[in-house]
Amino acid sequence: MMKPNYLLKEKFFEKIFSPHHYKNKQKIIIVEHCVTNTLDFIKFLSRYYEVYFIPKPNSIDKDIMNILEDYVTFLFINKEQLKSKKELINLIEEYVGKSKFYIIDIGGYFSWNYKVINEYYSNQILSIIENTENGLQKYEKEIKNLKENNLVQNVPVCTVARSILKIEEDFLVGNEVAIKSEVFLSEFGTNLIGKKVLVIGFGKIGSSLSQSLKHRGAIVYVLDKQAVRQAFAISQGYLYDDFDNLLNNLDIIYIANGEKSIDIDSLDRKCSGKLYIFSVTSVDDTFSNVEYLKNALEIEGQVPYYSLNTKLEGSIIVANKGNAINFTYTNSTLASFVQMTQGEMLLLLNDKVKTITNSGITELKKADQESIAKIWLEEYIAIENIGGKIE
């Protein structure tokens, strides 16, 4: 497989991590997307750590998996299994034993049993690094529960979710969702022009998505449960109405907040037209009653989907079976921007780096984030063949 020329060379990671090498390999359990943009990051980690890789089940590129089999140990365990205390303990005992280790998480896979981790493994686990806002909020909830029960937080939780380095990535994710959704719509002989769409959630990804949809000719409504964000969306020219009033005038719903915002049972009872649904996260974080989708017809294809005929003779198409649409159609528009947050996670693995802790969550200082961005720019300029150096 040829390396895409839009990704930075491994020298980028070496410049960030080289001063902090360890003589003896420690262990890392990592939850990640098994896709092109993560290949070099995982390979680089494997130089210095024993890597146990839990691939997210709905974003596995088999070609990438075949390459990584020479570098990591794959663990095919899902989020539901990790909610079990017994499964978690068995996993750690089998693969980590008594060794010290890190967890790099996406979407809070290990958050459900954070209390168990904090109690049983505080002398082993060096830190948990969470990559996403959705997952971070789950850890914040668990840390709050510890404090309310007068328990001490022994296991540090670090994050890149709110980093200034992730702004570019989140912006491009929103753009990619719009692009991939329009490709999906083309398979049904349609596009975004003139479509009435609703974006639920106006955070970093939702705002970027809304902008991209508007540029593609869609009529964009926005709903956000936070009044400040809702007001901001209205100030940016996006439309607003009550969900029930909107429903039968909508063509498409985008769920951009990962807060189980859609009740598919309610849609089944109320929807009388044709409605497409796209998500930016996993199906269990998209729908409040995901089990109801068992009533839908599963259609396989390049991008699988659910098709549901509603009680009012409408139809609902749930793209990618309710999972993130941006990991479909293989190619990614995130390019090398995602490597900035990968670099930040590498730096968080070094306990000598100074960090800021707020409400139990640890982050890199702005100066270190600026340093990573400077290195990224130097390498980015190199692959663009522009020449020059950032001083």
Query: Under 8 Å CB-to-CB from 239, ≥6 apart: which residues?
Result: 219, 220, 221, 222
Q: Determine how β-strand 355-358 pairs with β-strand 361-364.
A: antiparallel
What's the pLDDT score for residue 387? 45
178 domain-assigned:
yes
Are 185 and 308 in a shared domain? Answer: yes
Domain end, chosen from 267, 300, 322, is at 322
Domain end, chosen from 272, 300, 322, is at 322
What phi and psi values does residue 250 have, to the nearest 5 degrees? -90, 150
What's the pLDDT score for residue 9? 79
Domain end, chosen from 271, 297, 322, is at 322
157 domain-assigned:
yes
Question: Which sign, positive or negative, has the C-alpha torsion 330, 72, 111, 346?
Answer: negative
204 domain-assigned:
yes
206 domain-assigned:
yes
Q: Determine how β-strand 274-279 pairs with β-strand 252-255.
A: parallel
Please count the other Cβ atoms lying within 10 Å of the Cβ belonging to residue 127.
17
Are 317 and 177 in a shared domain? Answer: yes
25 domain-assigned:
yes
The string of pLDDT tens digits covering residues 90-107 is: 999 999 999 999 999 999
Question: Which sign, positive or negative, has the C-alpha torsion 296, 298, 299, 302?
Answer: positive
Are 55 and 102 in a shared domain? Answer: yes
Are 278 and 350 in a shared domain? Answer: no
What's the pLDDT score for residue 390? 39
Residue 310 three-state SS: coil
Q: Is 258 left (phi over 0), alpha (psi -120 to 50) or beta?
A: left
102 domain-assigned:
yes
**pTM for this structure?**
0.85
339 domain-assigned:
yes
Are 297 and 313 in a shared domain? Answer: yes
Cα–Cα distance list, 6 to 171, 337, 375, 383, 385 (Å): 17, 10, 16, 7, 12
Are 111 and 215 in a shared domain? Answer: no
Are 82 and 208 in a shared domain? Answer: no
Are 307 and 242 in a shared domain? Answer: yes
The string of pLDDT tens digits covering residues 248-298 is: 899 999 999 888 889 999 999 999 999 999 999 889 888 988 888 888 999
Query: Under 8 Å CB-to-CB from 251, ≥6 apart: which residues?
Result: 195, 196, 197, 273, 274, 275, 276
Q: How many domains, in total, are found in the chain?
A: 2
Residue 322 three-state SS: helix
Are 362 and 249 in a shared domain? Answer: no
**Ranges of residues in the chain whose predicted pLDDT is under 70:** 1-6, 18-23, 330-331, 333, 383-391
2 domain-assigned:
no
What's the pLDDT score for residue 278? 97
Are 352 and 298 in a shared domain? Answer: no
CB distance 280 to 258 below 8 Å: yes
CB distance 99 to 124 below 8 Å: yes
State which residues form the domain around 263: 170-322
CB distance 88 to 79 below 8 Å: no
Are 155 and 117 in a shared domain? Answer: yes
CA distance 361 to 112: 16
Bridge partners of 357?
362
268: domain CATH number is: 3.40.50.720
381: domain CATH number is: 3.40.50.1480
CA distance 374 to 12: 10
CA distance 116 to 61: 32
